[in-house]
Amino acid sequence: MNRMKTLPAETLGQEIDDASLASRVLAGDAGAFELVMRRHNQRLYRVARAMLRDSADAEDALQDAYIAAFQSMGNFRGEASLATWLSRVVVNQCLGRLRRQARRDNIVPMVAMGDAEELEHAAMPADDSDTPEKALVRSELRAVLERKLDELPEAFRTVFVLRCVEELSVEETAQCLNIPEATVRSRHFRARSMLRESLAQDIDVAERDVFAFDGERCDRIVARVLERLRTGE
């Protein structure tokens, strides 16, 4: 492949198709490859994050995947969408990292995917009318959901992210992961079930602590009442 050329990225409109983008990248057009990355960054990061369960590792894997994609862009034949082809590159990078980690740790890593209708809503940008309190609640909810997703086995977590967060079809998800559509459906169903069960357990525990009345609050109220009695207020 030719070395990257610094060409004006503004000449590349959002309507350019996958085949044309790939051709420009093969020609060494830096603007075209920048557009590829910006167009697909969110989906590909979410795939990597779902598989690796670590934000820094996901960023590193995504960068390596982009380098690999640039170097092998000539293999893109347009049989699937560019997004699907790139997703496969990211998946392969993540699997390689998981295998290396498994060898280092001498264990078989668990691979998990997530159920993300709730996660998608939690991760949506805040409305202009949102108060700081609402933004804090959204941030806390998103953190809980991300933690629950990380607890799922990888195979289920990744399917969940692609199906629910990225809203890919069953067919597209199967193409990205190179698995049968029936497997996508079963893993998606199982991921949602496990996520609901895990969240329900936390809710059951939290219900017992709702409006907790002990410790500092109890001491404060008792002290104030005794003080009022003493002063005759």
Q: What is the pLDDT of residues 110-135, one digit of tens each?
A: 333 334 444 444 444 445 556 777 77
Residue in 107, 101, 68, 98 with CA at minimum distance from that of residue 86: 68
In the chain, pLDDT over 70 holds for what percent of residues?
76
Q: What is the pLDDT of residue 2?
A: 47
Model confidence pLDDT, tens digit, residues 164-207? 888 889 999 998 888 999 999 999 999 998 888 888 877 776 66
CB 89 within 8 A of CB 68: yes
Residue in 208, 166, 206, 170 with CA at minimum distance from that of residue 188: 170
Residue 54: partners with Cβ closer than 8 Å, 6 or more residues away: none
CB 126 within 8 A of CB 151: no
Going along the chain from its start, the domains and CATH numbers come out as 1-108 (1.10.1740.10), 110-233 (1.10.10.10)
Distance CA 194, CA 152 (A): 7
Distance CA 52, CA 44 (A): 12
Distance CA 88, CA 162 (A): 12
Distance CA 15, CA 199 (A): 41
Residue in 143, 150, 127, 166 with CA at minimum distance from that of residue 41: 166
Model pTM greater than 0.85?
Answer: no
Residue 62: partners with Cβ closer than 8 Å, 6 or more residues away: 41, 44, 45, 48, 90, 93
Residue found by looking up tokens 């060409």 in the block: 7
The burial of 59, by beta-carbon neighbours within 10 Å (0-12 exposed, 13-18 middle, 19 or more buried), is given as: middle
Model confidence pLDDT, tens digit, residues 64-116? 999 999 989 988 888 888 999 999 999 999 988 888 877 766 433 333 333 44
